[in-house]
Structure 1
Amino acid sequence: MQAKLILTPPVARIAIQGHFTFEGHRQFKEATAAALAAPQIETVEIDFAEVGYLDSAALGMLLLLNERAEGHRIVLRHATGTVRSVLDIANFGKIFEID
């Protein structure tokens, strides 16, 4: 998995590529920490356009991001297919904005 951070204030976009699993924990944490620490960032978008699979560890990482967000808006974008189904089954639409 790769997590690419793109800062365009007031939005930080983290584009994830590959399988979003525990193995990507370090990259995801580094990217989200940098996004949350960047000045003038109000929204953090997690882009799932190139993710074909995510597991329960990935869901946990998203929940931890939500806890650390401290007033930042978190948006999950471009989740389709199996990824969208997993997010829906986990009721993440009640926690995050899913676009």
Structure 2
Amino acid sequence: MTVNSSLHSDSNQLIISIDERFDFSLHQQFRDCYSQVQQKGLEYILDLSKTKYMDSSALGMILLLKDHVEMYASTLTIQNPSDTVSKILEIAQFHRLMTIK
């Protein structure tokens, strides 16, 4: 289980990707990916294409990311969730809070 992030200054994007399982064990690693980024107008992309499992703590972590993003007048997009993850996001009504592609 890993969290990867890369800041693309040319496209003004921070891409965070989660492999396999997204649960509380990744809390600190996930937070470290974005907490030091304080650039305004950045596009944050949470790539969940490789995420096969996600629990309620992951939903809470996404909400904390959303708060950080809004503090810096940026945008958050969840990209490529698997069918299972997509259903979880739909049940939690995250589509009302952020863009899911």
Q: Is this a same-fold pair by TM over 0.5?
A: yes
Residue 47 of structure 1: aligned partner: 47
Q: Distance in 2 between matches of 1:95 and 1:40?
A: 19
CA deviations over 1:10-55 (Å, ceiling 9, x no partner):
0110111120000000110001214x33x46610000001100100
Q: Which runs of 5+ in 2 are unaligned?
A: none
TM-score, L = length of structure 2: 0.89
Q: Which runs of 5+ in 1 are unaligned?
A: none
How many residues are treated as equivalent by the alignment?
A: 97
Q: RMSD of the alignment, in Å?
A: 1.3
Partner-residue secondary structure (3-state), 2:19: strand
TM-score, L = length of structure 1: 0.91
What's the CA shift for 1:78? Answer: 0.6
* Structure 1 residue runs of 4 or more that deviate by more than 2 Å after TM superposition: none
1:16 and 1:50 in contact (8 A); partners too: yes
